[in-house]
Amino acid sequence: MPIKKIRVSPRQKMINLMYVVLMAMLALNVSSDVLNGFSLVSQGLTRSTANASRTNEAILEQFEAQMKTNPQKVKVWYDKAHFVQMMSDSIYDMAEDLKIRIVKESDGKDGDVNNIRNREDLEASTQVMLAPGTGRGKQLYEAIIHYRERILRMVEDKGQKEIIASNLSTDVPVKERMMGKDWPEYMFENMPTAAAVTLLTKLQSDVRYAEGEVLHNLVQNIDVKDIRVNQLNAYVIPQSQTVVQGGKFSAQIIMAAVDSTNKPTIFIGGKEYKSENGLYETICSSTGDFTLSGYIEMLNGEGQRVKRDFEQKYSVVAPSATMSADIMNVLYAGYDNPMSVSVPGVASSKLSVSMSGGQLTPKGDGHYIARPTDVGGEAVFTVVAHNEGRSQEMGKFTFRVRKLPDPTAFIPVGDDHFLGGRLPKQVLMHTDRIGAAIDDGLLNIPFTVHGFETVFYDNMGNAVPEVSQSSAFTDRQKNMMRSLSRGKRFYITRIRATGPDGIERTLNGAMEVIVN
């Protein structure tokens, strides 16, 4: 999307030009005390950066030493630490090279960053950073953004993130943006050599600070500083505390703060238990309540053997399954009956269910849809559990199969169902059809109406029937309803409807409608 240029009046252009001239005059008259101040700040930043560099190098040396003694544990963090060092050195060296270029542009080829002669020079930083084609300002700007984004992804503490983001910010004040300046121009255009060098030295200091924060985080991840805990406890983590008879009891036995490269020794019943990753398993051949107990030993950071007891209770139950129709203890033929299946101690993902006398469709998490076919017959379900590489039948369940009950006819009035009685004539004339459904709190099943008959009475009391071959009122039926006066009534009978089972039925009884 193109940037919309802001139109500037001649008067505003003159004010802007005067502002630029004023700033140039001020820059040309920067006092030597101010320039000396820049040099002092730069020297202080240089000392702080050197101290941070030494701290970071010490951490990297710790990585090197730890890598030699435990490469399996340290390798991933060691590689990350060197990647951070490489990124930081890259942008640090870029800033150092720019400092040298600016000073040499100001003082000549023998210029010294630590002894700047033309500290007030306003052209050197502009030439090095902003010269068309050769200026390095945009390159530095992009390098800072890239470094900031990569380094912030490696810092977890919110407060430290904010500090690093602020230190490495490339935002430009609103006033400067309104004047059309980007970050390189804002930082280096007409900037005295001493100030430009100080800005780059600050950048180097911020880079070393960010590098140090990430290295400290990586140190904590591998425990380079050998932080000792004041409590060590043994724990048993069972996969399940309830086991089906014939199944397998599995539990993880661990000690809190365990080092994965320093495996503990497990003792059960006074004997050492050999296990891969502390996994305990035993076949449960009888039912009842049981206790797994023993103790675990491990060497601490000082080479001393630490012993902790553990105990875990679990129960073994006989094979059993629970299966229920979510509606009631019967199933309806030709209808999607929701079912639920569960087995104590067995995940639903390890169950398989089969059905005779119909079709069964799994819906996940122990839920199924059963669609039996034989009215008056039975649907039999078999539940099988698959555990520890073997299959075990958990039970059979039998349900009676019935035909769906007849629905109730109604006249739809908005979102309501009018089932008979008094109905305002205005409302009646706005209805165009009848419906039928089972809606008794357990079932909510719509039916399709194929036809019905209305019975009106003339002035002589003679019945006048009128038949519709669909669910809609015919024009003749509507005209007869329109002629009814208040208190008159008519009846809707012989309603033919089909449900999801495909069986057409004629509903018993009649719906009485009294015009109100």
Q: Are 158 and 87 part of one and the same domain?
A: yes
CA distance 367 to 339: 6
**pLDDT at residue number 497:** 97
CA distance 243 to 256: 26
Q: Are 15 and 151 part of one and the same domain?
A: yes
Q: Which long-range contacts (CB under 8 A, 24 or more apart) does 135-142 make?
A: 135/184, 136/98, 136/101, 137/183, 137/184, 137/185, 137/187, 137/188, 138/184, 139/94, 140/94, 140/95, 140/98, 140/184, 141/170, 141/182, 141/183, 141/184
Which of the 8 DSSP states describes residue 499? -
Reported as a single tens digit per residue, the pLDDT across 72-84 is 778 888 888 889 9
Q: Does position 432 have pLDDT exceeding 70, yes or no?
A: yes
Q: Are 82 and 161 part of one and the same domain?
A: yes
Three-class SS state of 94: helix
> Mean of the pLDDT values across residues 328-343?
87
**pLDDT at residue number 429:** 93
**pLDDT at residue number 4:** 35
Confirm if 319 and 285 have CB atoms less than 8 A apart: no
Residue 87 maps to a domain: yes
Higher pLDDT, 254 or 446: 446
Q: Are 169 and 143 part of one and the same domain?
A: yes
- Could you tell me the pTM of the whole model? 0.41
Residue 5 maps to a domain: no
Q: Does position 434 have pLDDT exceeding 80, yes or no?
A: yes
Q: Are 348 and 486 part of one and the same domain?
A: no
CATH of the domain at 372: 2.60.40.60
Residue with tokens 């009294």: 514
**pLDDT at residue number 436:** 96
**pLDDT at residue number 23:** 45
Q: Which long-range contacts (CB under 8 A, 24 or more apart) does 486-490 make?
A: 486/425, 486/515, 486/516, 487/514, 487/515, 488/514, 488/515, 489/513, 489/514, 489/515, 490/454, 490/455, 490/456, 490/457
**pLDDT at residue number 9:** 47
Q: Are 108 and 248 part of one and the same domain?
A: no
Residue 90 maps to a domain: yes
CA distance 184 to 127: 12
Q: Are 49 and 62 part of one and the same domain?
A: yes
**pLDDT at residue number 423:** 94
Higher pLDDT, 501 or 312: 501
Q: Are 247 and 369 part of one and the same domain?
A: no
Of the pLDDT bands very low, low, confident and very high (cuts 50, 70, 90), residue 255 is low
Q: Name the domain boundary from 402, 427, 448.
A: 402
Q: Does position 318 have pLDDT exceeding 50, yes or no?
A: yes
Nearest 5 degrees, angle CA 421-CA 425-CA 426? 130
Q: Does position 443 have pLDDT exceeding 80, yes or no?
A: no
Q: Are 46 and 155 part of one and the same domain?
A: yes
Q: Name the domain boundary from 300, 317, 334.
A: 317
Copy the structure tokens of residue 462: 């003679």
* Percentage of residues of the chain with pLDDT beyond 70: 79
Q: Does position 382 have pLDDT exceeding 50, yes or no?
A: yes
Residue 1 maps to a domain: no
Of the pLDDT bands very low, low, confident and very high (cuts 50, 70, 90), residue 226 is very low
**pLDDT at residue number 304:** 67
**pLDDT at residue number 240:** 59
**pLDDT at residue number 325:** 62
**pLDDT at residue number 326:** 55
> Mean of the pLDDT values across residues 34-59?
72
Of the pLDDT bands very low, low, confident and very high (cuts 50, 70, 90), residue 10 is low
Question: Among candidates 411, 320, 332, 405, which has minimal Cα distance to 370?
Answer: 332
Neighbours of 182 (CB within 10 A): 16
Q: Name the domain boundary from 344, 368, 402.
A: 402
**pLDDT at residue number 488:** 93
Residue 148 maps to a domain: yes
C-alpha dist (Å) from residue 11 to 7, 25, 61: 12, 21, 63
CA distance 299 to 248: 31
CA distance 411 to 427: 11
**pLDDT at residue number 427:** 94
| H/E segment holding residue 319 | none
Of the pLDDT bands very low, low, confident and very high (cuts 50, 70, 90), residue 21 is very low
**pLDDT at residue number 344:** 77
Average pLDDT score, the chain: 81
**pLDDT at residue number 327:** 55
> Mean of the pLDDT values across residues 402-406?
90
**pLDDT at residue number 323:** 64
> What is the residue-wise DSSP string for 437-484?
EEESSS-EEEEEEEEEEEEEE-TT--EEEEEESSSBPPHHHHHHHHTP
**pLDDT at residue number 408:** 93
Q: Does position 466 have pLDDT exceeding 50, yes or no?
A: yes
* Percentage of residues of the chain with pLDDT beyond 90: 32
Copy the structure tokens of residue 394: 């958990």
Q: Does position 1 have pLDDT exceeding 50, yes or no?
A: no
Of the pLDDT bands very low, low, confident and very high (cuts 50, 70, 90), residue 461 is confident
Higher pLDDT, 329 or 216: 216
CA distance 121 to 193: 6
Helices 158-167, 193-222: crossing angle, 10 deg rounding:
160
Domain count within the chain: 4
C-alpha dist (Å) from residue 159 to 56, 145, 208, 209: 20, 19, 17, 14
Beta-carbon contacts of 144 under 8 Å, excluding residues fewer than 6 positions away, are 91, 168, 170, 203
Of the pLDDT bands very low, low, confident and very high (cuts 50, 70, 90), residue 296 is confident
Q: Are 269 and 343 part of one and the same domain?
A: no
Higher pLDDT, 50 or 9: 50
Higher pLDDT, 249 or 310: 310
Of the pLDDT bands very low, low, confident and very high (cuts 50, 70, 90), residue 291 is confident
> Mean of the pLDDT values across residues 285-304?
75
| H/E segment holding residue 102 | helix 71-107
> Mean of the pLDDT values across residues 78-97?
91
Phi, psi of 97 (to 5 degrees): -65, -40
Q: Does position 31 have pLDDT exceeding 70, yes or no?
A: no
Residue 227 maps to a domain: no
Copy the structure tokens of residue 482: 């329109």
Q: Are 209 and 277 part of one and the same domain?
A: no
Residue 228 maps to a domain: no
| H/E segment holding residue 189 | none
Identity of the highest mean pLDDT range in 17-21, 161-165, 452-456: 452-456
CATH of the domain at 299: 2.60.40.10
Three-class SS state of 423: strand
Q: Does position 114 have pLDDT exceeding 90, yes or no?
A: no
Of the pLDDT bands very low, low, confident and very high (cuts 50, 70, 90), residue 26 is very low
C-alpha dist (Å) from residue 143 to 53, 92, 129, 200, 426: 20, 10, 14, 13, 77
Residue 3 maps to a domain: no
Phi, psi of 9 (to 5 degrees): -75, 155
Copy the structure tokens of residue 337: 């009956």
Q: Does position 368 have pLDDT exceeding 80, yes or no?
A: yes
Q: 377 lies in which domain range?
A: 322-402
> What is the residue-wise DSSP string for 296-317?
EEEE-TTS-EEEEEEEEEEEEE
Q: Are 271 and 415 part of one and the same domain?
A: no
Identity of the highest mean pLDDT range in 11-25, 322-336, 443-457: 443-457
- Partners of 323 in the β-ladder: 341
